[in-house]
Every structure is written in C-alpha cells, then in structure tokens.
A and B are shown apart, each in its own frame.
Chain A
Amino acid sequence: MSDVAQHLVNAASLGSLYALLALGIAVIFGVGRILNFAHGQLITVSAYVLLVVSGLPWPLVVVLTLLTGVVLALAMERFAFRHVRRADPATTLIVGFAVAALIQEILVLSVGARSKTVDFATSTTLPVDIAGISIPRLDLVTMGVTAVLLIGLTLLLTRTTVGIQLRAASEDFGMARLLGVRSTRIVATAFAISGLLAGTAAVLLTAKSGTLAPEMGTPAVLIGFFATVIGGMGSLPGAAVGGFVLGVVTVLMQVLLPDGLLPYRESLLFTCVIAMLLFRPQGILPAATAGQRV
C-alpha cells in the first residue's frame, strides 16, 4: 500500500518537472511556431550560473538563476530566432539545433566538459514522513512550484492584457497583428516566460541531481518536445498534461516493466510519441489554431 503511494508521489513529482519542460517549449511554439531546441541550453546555462552563485543566500540564488534563463531566452530571440521569423517550424528546429550547439560548445570552452557537483539545497533531498509515507522534500517542492507556476501562468493568460494577446497570437498570429498586437514584443514575451520556466527547471534539476554537465539540457529538451507532442502542439494546457502523462508513464514503466524490457523504456516511450503523431497528431488537448497556421 505505502509502496503504491510512494510510486504515485514519484510519478506526480516527475510529471510536474516534465510539465515545466513541456510548457517552456509550448509557450514559444504556440506564439511563434518556433520549436526551440536550445531550450535545453537555457536550463544548462542557468544551472551553471546557479553553481557560480551558490554561496549566496538561497532566495538570491533562485532569483539570479531565473533571471539568467529569462535574459538568455530574450537574447536567443533577438539574435537568432528573429532572423527566421518567416521560416517554417522545421527550419526553426535547425536554427535551435545550431544555437544549442553554439551555447553548449562555448560552455565547454569556458568551464570544461567534465561534470561538476553543486552544493545547493541538499537538505531538500531529505524525506519527510506524511501519513506513513516518506516523501523527499524536493518532490513536494517540485509539485508545489509547478502548481504555483501553473496558477500564475493561468492568471497571466486570462487576466492580463499581455496574456490575452499571447493567447490570441497563439490562435491566429496574423489576426492579432491586424488588431495592433506588436509581433516582436509578443514573441519576446513568450521567450521570457519560457526562460523563466527553464530557470525554474534548472533549479529543480540541480537540487535533485546535485551535478551539472554541459550536455544536461539535451535529454530535458527532448522530454519537453515529446511531451508537447503528446499533449497537443501549441496548446498550453495540453503541454502541462502531456508532460505530466510522460512523467507518470515513465515511473509506471520503471515499476511495471519486466527486467528484460526495462533498459528499453525510453524506446518504448518515444515509440508512443511517434504513434501519437500518427494516430492523434492533435494530441490529448488540441490547440485551437486557425487552419492556415498549421
């Protein structure tokens, strides 16, 4: 019984983390039709900044890490993606590839290829006992942070002018512009939100693993991509659900798969992604986009 509960907590925690990754991808894809492969490097660089400032009081560390994500995301938009605004999503994927490679190699040039350990929020890995289940504090933090971000994002999107503009631009970018929504500003806003989510993911990932490596962002961005596919590309609620589902299924497979198949759980998971593209390309929660955008 407590075993089951333990797995459920694991699943929910991993699902929350994956939801953050997927949202970071989806918010940009929705507005700009840009599939940002370099989202992983937003996470990586933020994590390295965390390493540098980890001696400071923790709230300051968190703020600086998030700020790194936002600033770097804005720079990416300004210096890379803005030049290919008219390109199709497959081309933006290649641009993202190039930006990702560039940042990663510069990172290797400056900090070396070897992984580093970071002493940050180590106490959060200690478990607390709730109703007989021992739950690592970090899992609770992850779920809590995700919940707060989801609520915050929902409020932003429904209550503020810029949020309504973001949703409108996701549905029909051209029409939003015809009503006076400034395209550069709205895309930059989407990147800033994505950067904030990447910074958050960096904090949580670093606290969880305690190690950093220049290539740590790549698996994260793949998860984000595939989760948005499962949830429905361009749909923010879809991305959150897709990430959550991907996390839960990952944990379930760890628990339920027979030993022989266990090493192939990623393959199985990504085969499901391809199947999803084939049989339900609109995802679990389809985005409402005007036909001409897709």
Chain B
Amino acid sequence: MAIGTDIPRVDGIDKLNGSARYVDDLKIDGILHAATIRSTIQRGRIKAIHFDPSIDWSKFTIVDHRDIPNNQIRLIELDQVALASDEIRHKEEPILLIAHPCPREIQRARHAITFDVEPLPAVDDPCQPLTPDHIQHGDDNVFKSIDIHKGNPDTVFASADRIIEGEYKTGGQEHVYLETQGMLAYHEDGKLVVAGTMQCPYYVLDALTHAFDKPRDAFRVVQTPTGGGFGGKEDFPSNMAVHVAALACKSGKPVKLIYDRQEDMAATTKRHPSVVRHRTAVDDDGKLLAMDINVVLDGGAYVTLSPVVLSRGVIHTAGPYHCDNIHIHGEARLTNSPPNGAFRGFGAPQTLFAVERHMDVIATELGLDPAELRRRNMIRDGDATATSQPINDGVDRVALMDNTLDAAQYDTRSTEHATFNKTHPYLRRGIGLATFFHGAGFTGAGEVYLASEAWVEAHPDGQIEVLVANTDMGQGTTTILTQIAADRLDLEPRYVTLATPDTSRVPNSGPTVASRTAMIVGHLIEQACDQIVERTGGIKGRALIEAIEAWHHANPNTRLIGKAKYHKPDVIVWDDEKYIGHAYACYGWATYVADVEVDLRTFSVRVTDFVAAQEIGRVLNPTLARGQIQGGVVQAIGWALTEDIVTRDGAMANGQMTNYIIPTSGDLPPIRVIFEESESPFGPRGAKGIGELPMDGPAPAILNAICKALGTQLYEIPMTPERLMLHMEEHAHGTV
C-alpha cells in the first residue's frame, strides 16, 4: 500500500540532476528583461519623475499606473495599488516598470530614474499614538478587528485572588526560500501566458482578470517548479504577475521579471510582527479561571492577508487549554512598511509564543513545574476551545505530553542542569517545553467559500492523472497526492501522474496554504478516484487498468474524469460574526521540548537537543513528514534566536544572507521527531494537516528553556545576544 510508506519523491530526480527548469532557467527568444523602480521614501506624494537624458529611453518599455486598467491587486480588499500613482505608502513600493532586451542596460537604467517627493508623516509602530495626518485606512488605521467571547471573564476577574499578566512580542521574519520571486509572460494562442514561481495559480489568475478587466480565458497561469514558498509565494506572485503582464501587453513581447536576493528581501512580504498582552486569573492549583488576551499585528501598508492572519492568530491565542471564561480582542493595524503577509503558521506562531511563554510565567509565580501546570489545564475530550468548539477526537493530549517529556528525559535533565549551573563559571543550561495545536485547513467557513474541486482523469492508456491546482514548492505535494490516488485505486504509484498546475487544464482546488492540501485536497482526490472505480465497474488494482482501457474502447473520444467538490461536513458549524463554533475541522496536537546552553560571556544561546512530538492523524510518507517537522523546527529556531529584521524607514535594511542570520547546519541540535497517529475523519486515510504545526512550538520551548537556565523571564523574540545582554544587565545585575 502506498500510504504510510516512503515512496521516493516524484519530483526528486529532476531536481537532483538539474533538469527541472525554474522560471529563470526558461529561455524564450526575444524576451525582455524587466526591473521595478521603487520608492526610496516611507510615505509621501510623487511630485515629478525624472529620466536621466543620458539614456535612450525610446529603447525601453516603460509602464506606469495608467497602463493597468484596474490599478489594484485583487485579494481580500482592493486597497493595494499595483503601481503607485500619487501617494507612496511604503519604502520599496513599485512606481514604474521598465523592460529592455539587455539585462545590463536594465541595471544601468534602474539607477537613472529619480523622483521628487513631498514626504508625509509615517506610522512606524502599530502601537504608536496617531494624529489625524497618520490616518490612511478607515478612521483609525485598523484593517481588521476580531473579538472572541466565552463565559463571563469580567465577573471572574472582579473576584479573582490572583491575576497574572504579561506582554509578549515577536519580530518579523523573512521566508528565505531558495528561489527568489520570479515571473514571466508571453502571448500564445490568443492568451497571455503567465508562468512563474507561486503557491496559488488561481489567486494569480484572479488578480490578472481584475487588473486587466478581462475574462479568465484571456489568461493561462502556469506554476513553474518552485524553490520554496513558506507563504511568501501565496499573495506576492499576484503582484509580480500583474507587473510582468502589463509589460508584456505594452511591449507585445515576452517579458521576464526576476528579483535578486536583496530586492526580494527588501520589497516582499514578511511574517507579521506582534504584541500580545495576557491577563489571566488562576486559582492556587493553577487552574485557568479566566483569560483576557489582546493581540496586535503589524499589517504593513495595505490590507493584503492581514485579516485572515489575525483570524488564525486570535483563534489559537488561548492555547490548547480548557478555560471557561475568555475574552480575546485582536487588531491588525496599518504601518508604513511593505505589507506583511502569509508565513508558515499564519499568525498562530505569534500568539502561541505568547501563551506558551505566559504559561511558564504563571507556573513560576505559582511555584509549579511548567509541565504540571499544563497537565492540569490541557484540553481533554469533552472540553471546548476558546471559540467553544467541542473537542472529541479521542487524542490523549496529556499522554502525548508525558511521553514527550520521557523521551526528552525532562526530569533527569532538569536536575542535571541545576547542578551544572551551580558550578560552571559561564555556561547555563535549561530545558523547556511548549504544548500547542494547529488547526488544519481554512478557518471557519473558508473551505465552503473556496468550494475546491479536484479531478482525476483515467487516460486511454490506463494512466491515471490527478488534476489539481495545488503546487509542490519542495514540501512534497506531488508525492503525497500521488500516494493518495494510488492507495485509493490500489495501484502502484507509477500508474499515477500529477498534472502541472496550469489554469487552462486543472480545476481550482484552492490555494496551497493553511496545511490544507493533504487533508482537504487529498480527501477530494479520494472521492474523484472512487468515481473512476464506480464508472468502470467497481474494480480496483491492476484489473482497473484493463477496465479503463475497455471503457475508452466503448466510449471513444470521451474523457473519463472523476470530479469531486468540497462539501462541508455537517458537524462543522461556524458563526463568523460571533467567532463561535468549529474554527477548524480538526487540529494537530504537539509537545516540543528544547534543551539550551547559554554562554554568559557572549549571551549567545545554543539549542543542544530538541524533541518534537505530534499527533497529526495519519502519516502519509514518513520521510516527507519528518522533513516537514525538522524544517519547521529549524525555521522556528531562526525566528526565536537570530532572524532579526533590522528596519530603516519601515523596510528591511539587512536584506542580505550575510546579515540576516538563518541557522546553518552547524547551529542545529539533533531534532528527534515523534509521530502519534489517529484516524481523523476529515482527511485521506485519517491524515490531518502538518506543514505549519512545527513552526508554532520551538520559539516558546526555547525561550522557556533559556528562562529556566537563567532564572529570569523573557518576553520577546528574536532573543539575540544583544537583547539578552540588555535584559540581563537590567534584570539580573550582579548575578551574571
């Protein structure tokens, strides 16, 4: 059987031997090279544009806002302009596009265009006080505001003996996908073909139809092999596509637009920075009586995806704990920075950092072990989440935590570290944990809105082709979707191929985001496979191939396609006004444990051991699943400790790989991955989502371990050595 086994990556050989052609590898005769001319100021009005007369501009295609019929990037709202016309909202905002046959001429020309601008007051910090001249969205710069109510927290707080508070901050994060953003466009058969590195071909198609006011069949959007996404290629490729399409339309020629690393880092989306305040009423046993939580996300200069990032953030912000009285208020606010966007975890890593750090603060105040505090409050079957969603999935979350603590030798190491720390002159060791969850699929009614469709076609030669718009960006989609279809049809995986995501061929099976592909799309593929089996006589396995050939013989020139559409399971009930009900069909559950060593000479932190245990339903491909967990842990170690976005005028100033510090293999501990499995009813063979979960737990587990090592409380990431030094000088004077 294909499920649960390590079949080799379907896309592996082509990527290993270099025959996979990424967008920048594609050669098209007569192609023009393009560049984006950007704002150098944070906010202001464009007064004049100057073209250096030493350059022969007649040889260039030059596009401005007037060349795009609807100068808007279609996403949740339409506030983001494709090219700035009058007002500049952030540094690096695109103003003009230029194209020329020679890349060197483009490099020379991009520095030969300057602007006269009248600066306007900018918002740097989402929490800063605003004056009227700061207002750029609605009447308060708030993109989205969400409240979640459960029980009567006010009454409980009024009579509570013990209230524990904390304010927690997380920084931005750059995706650092290996392949930078890139897109090309050319005319073919009366359509404009737009091809490039992307997660969501149909988002790109929708952005094109809106911007150029043309029907869907005027365009063909094709995903090229994609070298990493992590959310960074969810929304931004729509901007690239509109730009490159505008140049191709104006010049009548093929055009290619590729960002180099520095432009990519400076101009594209980042993880939303956050500030989360917790106020918690507890009894002496550590039971959570009431939680009051305030979440602020820094949205950047346009709405983009901030409302839904906020939504996932606030839903996860009370953690995997049972509490009867909760009020959560969240806001995503405007700042004059390049828009922050989707990034693996989508708001949940930020709010789970806060609650998991806060649980350790509570445990310290109560004199309880942090694991014991969690044991007493963990959601049991029959309890409900902050949105009053009942949890009854049969997963023993307390046992998951306890097994993980055993695997990490939590008790033994805690004792050993305490002894070590008394004797060593400058090294301090600590062990910390985080228990957390991550909802799989789109939030609330999101999957209903998407109305995803997946097709499975049985060709006359017996080959099975899966047609979906979901993209492989390195995470293994093509492999697991192949496995799911092969398993359902009882065939070897070699009989199954996956269509290239091309909007002229594949149905809209929704975006490749939100840990939804394996669970939602995989489930649809199972149903589409069932239709093939049904229509060919109910046979599976090798005999199915013959049945398919016979069907085609009897029905010449007809396609045999199974088509499945998403139908909301009846148990899922969600009120989007009140934020009550089933926020997600199901959740992955996890406990992560980190061991750290702090060097008090340099205030640097080394993660020395890491255990990542999770319950994700069914593991479809063990190697790919382990890769997802280890990769997520590494990305989160960087976010927790070293990945510091230094901004100037709201935009990233350290946008080079030398100065934006992602971990190397030499900085990483062994990452021990443990899976527990169950049969979730919502995904193929019981699978739930996996991709984002590992981003949520490492940062709080690591910070909790540092706090244990140093006997202090930290409230912010990235905890760079420079920040830790300032904290220790302020809070632990004389003890270090």
A and B found bound together: no
